[in-house]
Amino acid sequence: MTVAGFRQFRDVWAEVAELRQFHTVWSIDFEFRQIDGERPEVHCMSALNLLTGQRLDLNASQLRYGHCPFDVENSLFIAYGARAEMTCFAALGWPIPKYILDLNIEYIHLLNDGLHHPRKLLNALDYFGLPHIDAEDKKEMQALAIRGDLTPSEMREMQEYCASDTKATGLLFPPLAYHFDFISALVRGRFTGCVGLMEHIGIPVDMELLARLRER
Query: Percentages helix, strand, coil for the chain, rounded to the nearest 5?
Result: 50, 15, 35
Q: Are 45 and 29 in contact (CB under 8 A)?
A: yes
- What is the pLDDT, as a whole number, of residue 170? 94
**Cβ neighbours of 77 (radius 10 Å):** 27
- Total number of domains constituting the chain: 1
Give the residue numbers spanning the domain of 58.
3-215
Residue ranges, the chain, pLDDT below 50: none
- What is the pLDDT, as a whole number, of residue 121? 95
Q: What is the CATH number of the domain that holds 44?
A: 3.30.420.10
Phi, psi at residue 176, to the nearest 5°?
-75, -30
- What is the pLDDT, as a whole number, of residue 3? 65
- What is the pLDDT, as a whole number, of residue 116? 87
Q: Compute the distance between CA of residue 90 and CA of residue 197 in angstroms, rounded to an integer.
A: 6
- What is the pLDDT, as a whole number, of residue 36? 81
Q: DSSP string of 132-190? A: ---HHHHHHHHHHHHH----HHHHHHHHHHHHHHHHHHHHHHHHHHTTS-HHHHHHHHH
- What is the pLDDT, as a whole number, of residue 71? 94
